[in-house]
C-alpha cells in the first residue's frame, strides 16, 4: 500500500466486508464501492460490519464471528491492494448495544485496533440509560463514537441527549445521506441542528455496497460549501476521521453559521438533490 495522500478524505463507517452482514455481498461489490469512493476522493476507509454487542459476552461465538469477518476482510484487502494500491482499507465494527455491558477488549471489534469503537442502539430507538452505557464504555478505557444520532426516532425532541453523550466523552458520526434528505425531513433537520451546534465530529457514508444507492458525498459537499461550511467539512471528512486512525480525539468542528434565511437557502439548494 502506498503512503496515504494527506488531502484525501477518510470514511469511518461502511459495510464493505463481503458477505458478513447486510452490506456488500461479494468482492465485486466491495471493489465497485471502493471505486466509487475513490471518485469522491475517499482513499482511507475503516469499514464497519455489524456485530451484536451481546456476542462479546460469549467467547466461543465471538471468536467464530471475528474469525469469519477476518477471513472475508483479508480476501477483500488483497483484491483492493491489487486494484487500488492507493487505498488504505482498515476495519472495525458497528457494535449494536443490545446489552448494557459489552466487552470491547478484543481490538478486532474496535476501529483499526484503536481505542475508538463505533456504536448504535437497536431499531433506531433510544432506550433509557444511553448515557450510562456510554460512560461505562469510556470508564473501561474506550472512546465510543455514536453512529448516525440524527436517525434515532424522537431525537428531534431529545437532542439534548446527544449533548449529554458528548459531555460524557462520546463522539458523534453523522451520515452524508441524512444531510441530503435521503432518510426524510426529520433526520435531515436534526442533522443540520447538530451541525449548527458544532456537535457532529465525523461525517461518513454508511455505504452498504448497494450500487443503486448514491454515496451522497458530492451533494452534501455542494450544499455545505454553499452555506459557508468548507472548513467544517474538512474537519468532518478529513482531519477528524484521520485522527481516528492515529487514535487521537477529534478537533472541535466550527458550527454551521446560523444566518438569516438559512432554511430558505437550504431548501433552495436541496431542490433536485432529495429525490
Binding site for Fe ion (CB under 5 A): 94, 206
Comparing CB distances to Fe ion, the nearer of 227 and 236 is 236
Least spacing, CB of residue 268 vs Fe ion, in Å: 30
d(CA 35, CA 120): 27
CA dihedral 149, 155, 161, 165 (to 10 degrees): 0
Per the CB < 8 A criterion, the answer to whether 116 and 10 are in contact is no
* Alpha carbons within 13 A on the beta-carbon side of 210: 8
Least spacing, CB of residue 15 vs Fe ion, in Å: 6
Alpha helices in 100-216 (DSSP H): 130-139, 159-168, 176-180, 185-197
Least spacing, CB of residue 47 vs Fe ion, in Å: 10
Least spacing, CB of residue 120 vs Fe ion, in Å: 7
Comparing CB distances to Fe ion, the nearer of 120 and 256 is 120
Per the CB < 8 A criterion, the answer to whether 196 and 256 are in contact is yes
Q: How many CB atoms lie within 10 A of CB 70?
A: 14
d(CA 220, CA 145): 21
Comparing CB distances to Fe ion, the nearer of 30 and 256 is 30
Least spacing, CB of residue 192 vs Fe ion, in Å: 21
Comparing CB distances to Fe ion, the nearer of 54 and 234 is 54
Comparing CB distances to Fe ion, the nearer of 206 and 219 is 206
Classify residue 210 as exposed, middle or buried by CB count within 10 Å of its CB (0-12, 13-18, 19+): middle
Per the CB < 8 A criterion, the answer to whether 39 and 138 are in contact is no
Least spacing, CB of residue 204 vs Fe ion, in Å: 9
Least spacing, CB of residue 194 vs Fe ion, in Å: 17
Instruction: Give φ, ψ of 118 to 5 degrees.
Output: -85, 130
Instruction: Give φ, ψ of 144 to 5 degrees.
Output: -75, 135
Comparing CB distances to Fe ion, the nearer of 94 and 201 is 94
Comparing CB distances to Fe ion, the nearer of 88 and 206 is 206
**Grid cell at residue 255:** 458550527
Amino acid at each position: 500500500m502506498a503512503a496515504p495522500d494527506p488531502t484525501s478524505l477518510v470514511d469511518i463507517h461502511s459495510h464493505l466486508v463481503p458477505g458478513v452482514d447486510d452490506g456488500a455481498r461479494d468482492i465485486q461489490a466491495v471493489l465497485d464501492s471502493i471505486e466509487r469512493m475513490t471518485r469522491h476522493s475517499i482513499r482511507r476507509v475503516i469499514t464497519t460490519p455489524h456485530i451484536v454487542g451481546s456476542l462479546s459476552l460469549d467467547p466461543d461465538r465471538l471468536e467464530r464471528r471475528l474469525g469469519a469477518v477476518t477471513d472475508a476482510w483479508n480476501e477483500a484487502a488483497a483484491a483492493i491492494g491489487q486494484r487500488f494500491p492507493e487505498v488504505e482499507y482498515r476495519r472495525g465494527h458497528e457494535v449494536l448495544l443490545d446489552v448494557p455491558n459489552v466487552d470491547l477488549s478484543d481490538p478486532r471489534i474496535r476501529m483499526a485496533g484503536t481505542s475508538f469503537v463505533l456504536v448504535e442502539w437497536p431499531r433506531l430507538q433510544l432506550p433509557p440509560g444511553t448515557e450510562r452505557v456510554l460512560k461505562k464504555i469510556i470508564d473501561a478505557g474506550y472512546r465510543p463514537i455514536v453512529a448516525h444520532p440524527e436517525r434515532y426516532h424522537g431525537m428531534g425532541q431529545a437532542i439534548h441527549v446527544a449533548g449529554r453523550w458528548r459531555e460524557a466523552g462520546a463522539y458523534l458520526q453523522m451520515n452524508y445521506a441524512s444531510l441530503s434528505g435521503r432518510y426524510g425531513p426529520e433526520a435531515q433537520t436534526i442533522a443540520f441542528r447538530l451541525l449548527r451546534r458544532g456537535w457532529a465530529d465525523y461525517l461518513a457514508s454508511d455505504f452498504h455496497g448497494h450500487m443503486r444507492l448514491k454515496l451522497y458525498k458530492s451533494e452534501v459537499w455542494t450544499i455545505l460549501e454553499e452555506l459557508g461550511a468548507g472548513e467544517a467539512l474538512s474537519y468532518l471528512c478529513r482531519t477528524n476521521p484521520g485522527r481516528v486512525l492515529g487514535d487521537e480525539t477529534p478537533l472541535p468542528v466550527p458550527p454551521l453559521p446560523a444566518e438569516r434565511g438559512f432554511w430558505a437557502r437550504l431548501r433552495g439548494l436541496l431542490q433536485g438533490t432529495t429525490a
